Amino acid sequence: MAEKDYLYVVKKPCPICSMETRATKVRSRLITETVDNDLCTHYKDINPYYYRIWVCEHCGYAEDERHFLNGVAPKAKKEIQDFLAGHNGTSEFKEQRTRDDAIKALKLAIFYTKFTTETFAHKAGLNLTLAWIYREAGDKENEEKFLAEAGKLYIESRSREVFPQGQMTEADCIYLIGAIHFRLGDYDTAGRYLSMLMHNKELETKERVTVDRAKDLWSDMRDKMKEERAETSDDASPAE
């Protein structure tokens, strides 16, 4: 199927300017191809992460569907309106987005969370999604930049917020912290968080899928560390 066959357009009122704006949604009949160890899912024919963020075509406010439809607290709404009063926030609506469109939308959403009281978990998720899109683009520098920010925010979430956060359990959060730091090459931090899942008997039953995922990643990390030690040893060997 072509990408456009997965897409459809809805019209909803913007929580900031109250004008009706269009947003593209992705039909649910997606075919999963692979899943990365930080849970980035790759689908056939389409990248649904391009459409995670709704952007008001009139004022430029941006958020994901759930937060867009749930509205904005009065104080934050007033602050955003005051900010937009001095800016041209209009945004061209595109039913089908490019990668650059998706990156711009996610950066806008991250920017607007500065005005709101959104959770650390939500902010982390936005940064993680942006890292995934940069991964698809092969832009390792920006991928790691936003992975690192997501990791910091998930650590804040785990220490300061009550779970579940949306559909994310505390075990999910701990796993993501471990997976993100593994991808960043910080094996000490990754190991510390993964071990929290692997050595928790209660989670063995309640969070079996997440615990098994942590064990698999722990094994991958050990193999990776062995490879890197072997490479370091080879590099240090005297030339013949």
Task: For residue 177, tell me if it sits in a domain.
Answer: no
pLDDT at position 142: 99
Task: For residue 78, tell me if it sits in a domain.
Answer: yes
pLDDT at position 88: 81
* Range of the structural domain that residue 32 is part of: 1-118
pLDDT at position 234: 65
Annotate the chain with three-state secondary structure.
CCHHHHEEEEEEECCCCCCEEEEEEECCCCCEEEECCCCCEEECCCCHHHHCEEECCCCCCEEEHHHHHHCCCHHHHHHHHHHHHCCCCCCCCCCCCCHHHHHHHHHHHHHHCCCCCCCHHHHHHHHHHHHHHHHHHCCHHHHHHHHHHHHHHHHHHHHHCCCCECCECHHHHHHHHHHHHHHCCCHHHHHHHHHHHHCCHHHHHHCHHHHHHHHHHHHHHHHHHHHHHHHHHHHHCCCC
Number of compact structural domains in the chain: 1
Low-confidence ranges of the chain (pLDDT < 70): 234-240
pLDDT at position 117: 86
Task: For residue 226, tell me if it sits in a domain.
Answer: no
pLDDT at position 90: 87
pLDDT at position 238: 56
pLDDT at position 240: 45
Task: For residue 24, tell me if it sits in a domain.
Answer: yes
Task: For residue 88, tell me if it sits in a domain.
Answer: yes
